[in-house]
Amino acid sequence: MGLGDFFKNIFGKKTCAFCGGECGMMSRTKIKGDEYICSKCDDMCSNFIRKSRFTKPELEGHMEYMKRLDRIYKEVILPSIQKHESYPSATQRQGIEFFDDFGMFRIMDGSRDSKDRYPTELFRYDQVASYEPYYEEAEPEEAGKPKVFHEGGIIIRLVGSLDDTTKMQKGLRAHPYITEEIKVCFATNDREKENYLKYAENAIHHFDYIFGVESKALFSFGMSKQEKRDLKAAVAFTKTAFDAVKVAKSGGEISEEKKAEIMENMHAIDDAQTGGLAVYTRAADSAEAKIQ
Ligand SMILES: [Zn+2]
């Protein structure tokens, strides 16, 4: 390869593997298999994946996946939303909006949310492996002065395909695409710091609520939420086992009412085994099932 070809290869225009359009050096990303994606097609992907990890067919599947999430948000969540919690309620930076009734959340982003070309990306609660606040300080301009606040927010790690799920809370499921940690940036300057602390604390508190990380409640005769779930599950299990024996004895006939009751008991068992997370798994499954 001559020097001219060499530079042409780096600086010259390339064809986008998805739309076939030409893209210059500044508006493309190299993907696996020596192909390129232009910035317009890039907009249809998650903000949280490194495209260079994927081949063209994988990214095509990913774009379909993103379209589906966008439809779940617009066609299932938005029309029937009862309550949602957002921290902060509006932001020019990032924040988190929780949809408990649908077992999902989204990351708000002031620079993307108002633009139609970005599909809304949803995450299921049962994909979250861990969450924690982060707080970065920068060296002061003058030596000897205190460090200055640089950036803060929450780091969310999803269950990746390589993680050891036996060491995690039961009932979690892997995210099909994201393995990178997700940094949700609430504040980037000192002026926003106080508010950031409040919002980040609220968001962490809400995650704690979802994952059942909470102290024993008052007036519960010393039982934690989990202990109550365990008790409910034990009762449900016994009832369901009884029903199964009865049904087997009577030759397999079972009423719709009984079926519903057994389902409910099975759910109670699920809830106890997953620390309550199964409630959100069912909600997310049913939201997903509404979109073909
Ligand atoms: Zn393109």
| Ligand 1 centroid – CA 54 distance (Å) | 15
Which residues fall inside 5 Å of ion ligand 1, going by CB?
A: 16, 18-19, 38, 41
Query: DSSP characters for 245-268?
Result: HHHHHTTS---HHHHHHHHHHHHH
| Ligand 1 centroid – CA 66 distance (Å) | 16
Domain boundaries, the chain: 14-43, 55-212, 225-275
Reduce the secondary structure of 86-143 to three states and give it as a string: EECCCCCCEEEEEEHHHCEEEEEECCCCCCCCCCCCEEEHHHEEEEEEEEEEECCCCC
Write down the pLDDT at residue 217: 37
| Ligand 1 centroid – CA 116 distance (Å) | 17
What is the length of the chain? 292
pTM beyond 0.95, yes or no: no
| Ligand 1 centroid – CA 40 distance (Å) | 6
Task: Say how far apart CA 244 and CA 226 lie, in whole Å.
Answer: 26
| Ligand 1 centroid – CA 16 distance (Å) | 5
pLDDT one digit per residue (tens) for the chain, 292 residues: 566 676 666 667 889 999 999 988 888 999 999 999 999 999 999 999 999 999 999 999 999 999 999 999 999 999 998 878 899 887 788 999 999 999 999 999 998 988 888 999 999 999 998 899 988 888 888 888 888 888 889 999 998 755 666 666 678 888 999 988 999 998 888 888 887 878 888 999 999 888 877 543 333 445 566 667 776 777 777 777 767 777 777 776 777 887 787 778 778 777 777 777 888 999 999 999 999 7
